[in-house]
Structure 1
Amino acid sequence: MRMRTDIEPPRLRMRLRLPGLLVFALQLIAAHGVNAQNAQNAQNAQNTHGTVVVSAQPRAGTVRHLADAVALVARHGVVKVEAGVYREATVVVRQPLTLLGAEGAVLDGEGQRELLVIAADSVTVRGLTFRNTGTSQATDRAALRVVEAAGCLIEHNRFEATLFGIYLQRASNCLVRRNHLRGLTGSQTVTGNGLHSWSSHHVVFEDNVVEGHRDGIYFEFTTAGVARRNVSANSRRYGLHFMFSDSCRYEDNEFRDNESGVAVMYAKAVHITGNRFVRNRGSAAYGLLLKEISDSEIRRNVFLDNSIGLHMEGANRNQVSDNDFVRNGWGVRVLADAQDNMLEGNSFLGNVFDVGTNSRRSYSTFRHNWWDRYRGYDLDHDGVGDVGHAPVRLFALLVEQSPAALVLVRSLLVDLLDVAERVVPTITPAALRDESPLMRAPRALP
């Protein structure tokens, strides 16, 4: 019988199967590794929906850099920043989340860059210190910038030595509250603004303290904005600067010791109520400058110890009511191009000049104001003077023509001019009179 030659010896078959077994074993190991990596990725994915912790002293469960945490956390997650100083490239947030800083958590720009840019809706930033952006002549470098985002909340943060503090750029429905901002040292040419809103709408700045910036609060091309209960002090230019922004409200703020005071320009339907304008002094300083403002309300404000309390230039159809003008250089200056304004229920106490103007004609109306210089009488006891009051002093008109004459303000000559004008009131503007002055101040004065 012929033997089969295609049958392999058993030992040979086993030898040939060994490579196949090795491959199978390697596949098992690889599969286990993939499953382990998938499990880790799943764990990481689960972590991104919770809290990511940033620590200057890395340990298990934390990351070293804020940018890494922002990249890891999922939408609407929380990034906790522990105490420490963090120096890294500008961090950009592109999804909704909360940044929560512990006391002593500092983002430091090393004098070279912006620190945080928010480019997503519904972002909250709380409890961080932003420091040291450095200055720039080429860009409006901000510690915290919100770009084309809505519904953001920025609260309880500190800003130290920053060019611009908080900059809202085409933002909407954002709330900025209870932050403390201190600008760079130096002149207004090397400083930026504390709270800055550009081309935004329905934004609110409230309960912030802003010191030492070029402009403490700046609104430009902003509609339906609100600034309330803020303190803006020691600004290199304006405590509040406001341009081309309609239907905005400024309520219960304090603007004090600012180099040029407050300027509100080129807008309509503005409400300025319950504010304090204090010690804004200088050759070009105003408690409040209204320029090209129309159909607005200035009510229940206090103007105390300013070079000029309220200056109205090209301001038309405004209601100026129930304000207190106390110990200013000029209480109110109403120029000839300010027309159809109503000034009533205001109190004037201790001003060098209660009212100033650059014309012998008046296109605005004064009525029912209280003047500490009024020397009239009230025979029918109705609380209203029986004779009118001319608040523009003859000497005030002379100063308008020759400002250098102001050095004579406390001289006997000026006292004689005042007496002469009361006896023969023929030179001061006849049209600028309060025909129904109040006999008593309508409220307690500061």
Structure 2
Amino acid sequence: MIKRLFPAMLMLFGWLLSSFTLSAEQAEALETNARNSLQSLIDRTTAGGELTIPPGQYEGPIIINKPIALQGNGNVTITGQGGQPVITVNADRVTMTGIHVVDELNPPDIPAIVLQGSGHVLEQLQIQTSGSGIQLRKAHKSLLRELRISGLGNQSGSGKQLFRRGNGIDLWGSHDNRIVSCTISGMQDGIYLESSEANRILDNTVSDSRYATHLMFTKDTIVKGNVGIRNVTGLMVMGTNRTQIEQNRYYKQSQNVNSQGLLLYDVKNAVVRDNHMEGNRVGIYMELSSSNIITDNTVAFNFIGLQAIESSRNKLVRNSFISNVIQAQAKQSGGNELDGNYWDDTQNIDLQGDGQSDLPYRISPFFLTLTNAAPSFQLFFGSPGIVFLESLFHAGTDQWLTDAAPLIRPAADPFESVSTHHRSVGFIFSFLLFLISILIITYWGVLRK
């Protein structure tokens, strides 16, 4: 009996042995993978050290609890599994460079990367997310430079899809940070700051989002050299103090009924200088804003150049309003100082030869008041009847926005800083057309002979 069972027992023993050996190999492989996981590599790196991450794909979540420098060299991808940030930083002085982060599963309120602490440097990261890009929470004195952040899913830049996304870079209670040369598209707000002070937003480009940059209850923010295109609003500034807005370009914010190049709401002591607002529904919109200086800006090819509502004690100097369908509208906005702006539709007489017209430029609130009371009257914009009625409307002229001495011509070339390339291309194209015309004329002349 035993002899008959011996072969079967031997086969069973061999199977058990092979199973045990396979399990040991699997265990060893799992142990090796665990040792080589990104989290394990980070944990084994000493504080203040640098980790060059081996090329490949890794899974989050990753948690960093000490100062460390992570170098990806553009060959490292970290993918989130949903439910939490892909990378969480809970320490000071963390550097991350050349890493690709993909977050396909998180809702808008969960970021791909969340930063706390101070002194961080994030450079040349690429983030694709269905949630938010980067959140700074009480994170100070950090540098975010040359980041590329894009929203996954619908990229139309309009409609309800905007509110199903998170913000590209989101700061709350975070001070003295720099966001430089980042490219952001397809998010809710490209760059969002709330209750944060002394931050600098420099040379970024945001497209196809709700607001390119959104400031809420901030102080001493500098927004300079940025570009916003095809957003609902280029720059939304609300409840802020001492904001500097310089050398930005916001254009083609026109697809939404509430689109503006620059929106100032309850803003005080801002300096708005040398910006270009082109092709928007409204170039500059001000409401409940006071004590701001708006100077040397170009506002061109918008439906409405300037719109002011219940705003006073603002100073508008040397701005150029060119080819806007409606140059300006104002309502309950007396007490503002307009001096030496250029309005290309004004009637000019310069008897003194000083480059300023002796005829004032007055901004009537008639059409804005009429359409606020009856929005359907917007259909009659520019009609002879509306123009005639507006010419009869002279009530409360002391409350009208009035430029007492408008410029005869712009103070400087209003398109010099943004159109040099286009002018060169246009010149070359025109020259080629001229040459082609000469050749055609010559050719037909020879045929006729």
Shared fold, TM over 0.5: yes
Q: How does 1:99-138 map to 2 (within 5 A)?
A: 99-136=70-107
What amino acid is the match of 2:270? Answer: S
Q: Which residue of 2 aligns with 1:68?
A: 40
Q: Which residue of 1 aligns with 2:240?
A: 267
Q: How does 1:270-309 map to 2 (within 5 A)?
A: 270-281=243-254, 282-309=256-283
| CA distance in structure 1 between the partners assigned to 2:90 and 2:82 by the alignment | 23
What amino acid is the match of 2:264? Answer: L
| CA distance in structure 2 between the partners assigned to 1:379 and 1:417 by the alignment | 31
CA shift, 1:100, in A, is: 0.6
Q: Which residue of 2 aligns with 1:257?
A: 230
Q: How many residues align?
A: 379
Q: Which ranges of structure 1 fall in alignment gaps of 5 or more residues?
A: 1-56
CA shift, 1:322, in A, is: 0.7
Alignment counterpart, residue 93 of structure 1, candidates 38, 60, 64: 64
Q: Which residue of 1 aligns with 2:302?
A: 328
Q: Which residue of 1 aligns with 2:410?
A: 441
What amino acid is the match of 2:120? Answer: C
Percent sequence identity over aligned pairs: 25
Question: Over residues 194-253 of structure 1, what are the superposed CA-to-partner deviations in whole Å (9 max), with x where a residue is unaligned?
Answer: 011110110110100010101000001110011010001110x21111111111110010
Please state whether the residue corresponding to 2:201 is helix, strand or coil.
strand
CA shift, 1:444, in A, is: 1.9
CA shift, 1:330, in A, is: 1.4
CA shift, 1:113, in A, is: 3.3
Please state whether the residue corresponding to 1:294 is helix, strand or coil.
coil
Q: Which residue of 1 aligns with 2:376?
A: 404
Q: Which residue of 2 aligns with 1:365?
A: 337
| CA distance in structure 2 between the partners assigned to 1:69 and 1:82 by the alignment | 10
Q: Which residue of 1 aligns with 2:153?
A: 185
Please state whether the residue corresponding to 1:216 is helix, strand or coil.
strand
Please say if residues 133 and 142 of structure 1, whose CA atoms lie closer than 8 Å, have aligned partners that are also in contact.
no
Q: Could you tell which deviates more after superposition, 402-411 or 198-207?
A: 402-411
Please say if residues 298 and 414 of structure 2, whose CA atoms lie closer than 8 Å, have aligned partners that are also in contact.
yes
| CA distance in structure 1 between the partners assigned to 2:350 and 2:56 by the alignment | 70
Please say if residues 262 and 289 of structure 1, whose CA atoms lie closer than 8 Å, have aligned partners that are also in contact.
yes
What amino acid is the match of 2:141? Answer: N
Alignment counterpart, residue 346 of structure 1, candidates 319, 337, 340: 319
Please say if residues 357 and 400 of structure 1, whose CA atoms lie closer than 8 Å, have aligned partners that are also in contact.
no
| CA distance in structure 2 between the partners assigned to 1:81 and 1:123 by the alignment | 15
| CA distance in structure 1 between the partners assigned to 2:39 and 2:244 by the alignment | 41
What amino acid is the match of 1:169? Answer: R
Please state whether the residue corresponding to 1:406 is helix, strand or coil.
helix
CA shift, 1:331, in A, is: 1.0
| CA distance in structure 1 between the partners assigned to 2:50 and 2:325 by the alignment | 57
| CA distance in structure 2 between the partners assigned to 1:439 and 1:425 by the alignment | 26
CA shift, 1:401, in A, is: 3.2
Q: Which residue of 2 aligns with 1:231?
A: 205
Q: Which residue of 1 aligns with 2:442?
A: none
What amino acid is the match of 1:298? Answer: V
| CA distance in structure 2 between the partners assigned to 1:277 and 1:428 by the alignment | 34
Alignment counterpart, residue 213 of structure 1, candidates 181, 187, 212: 187
| CA distance in structure 1 between the partners assigned to 2:262 and 2:68 by the alignment | 39
Residue 374 of structure 1 pairs with residue 360 of structure 2: no
Q: TM-score, length-normalised on structure 2?
A: 0.80
| CA distance in structure 2 between the partners assigned to 1:271 and 1:74 by the alignment | 41
What amino acid is the match of 2:338? Answer: F
| CA distance in structure 2 between the partners assigned to 1:332 and 1:382 by the alignment | 26
Please say if residues 112 and 133 of structure 1, whose CA atoms lie closer than 8 Å, have aligned partners that are also in contact.
no
| CA distance in structure 2 between the partners assigned to 1:429 and 1:176 by the alignment | 49
Counterparts in 2 of 1:64 and 1:122: CA distance versus 1, 3 Å: same
CA shift, 1:184, in A, is: 2.9
Question: Over residues 328-355 of structure 1, what are the superposed CA-to-partner deviations in whole Å (9 max), with x where a residue is unaligned?
Answer: 121111112x110011110001112111
Please state whether the residue corresponding to 1:129 is helix, strand or coil.
strand
Q: Which residue of 2 aligns with 1:317?
A: 291
Please state whether the residue corresponding to 2:403 is helix, strand or coil.
coil
| CA distance in structure 2 between the partners assigned to 1:82 and 1:368 by the alignment | 61
| CA distance in structure 1 between the partners assigned to 2:372 and 2:356 by the alignment | 31
| CA distance in structure 2 between the partners assigned to 1:392 and 1:326 by the alignment | 19
Q: Which ranges of structure 2 fall in alignment gaps of 5 or more residues?
A: 1-28, 155-160, 416-449
Please say if residues 185 and 191 of structure 1, whose CA atoms lie closer than 8 Å, have aligned partners that are also in contact.
no
| CA distance in structure 1 between the partners assigned to 2:110 and 2:379 by the alignment | 44
Please state whether the residue corresponding to 1:398 is helix, strand or coil.
helix
Please state whether the residue corresponding to 2:277 is helix, strand or coil.
strand
Q: CA-atom RMSD, angstroms?
A: 2.3
CA shift, 1:256, in A, is: 1.3
Task: Give the ranges of 4+ consecutive aligned residues of structure 1 lying more than 6 Å apart after TM superposition.
Answer: none
Q: Which residue of 2 aligns with 1:31?
A: none
Q: Which residue of 1 aligns with 2:17?
A: none
CA shift, 1:82, in A, is: 2.7
Q: Which residue of 2 aligns with 1:157?
A: 125
| CA distance in structure 1 between the partners assigned to 2:378 and 2:341 by the alignment | 26
Q: Which residue of 1 aligns with 2:359?
A: 387
Question: Over residues 68-114 of structure 1, what are the superposed CA-to-partner deviations in whole Å (9 max), with x where a residue is unaligned?
Answer: 011000122111123322123x1111111111113231101144431
Please say if residues 315 and 337 of structure 2, whose CA atoms lie closer than 8 Å, have aligned partners that are also in contact.
yes
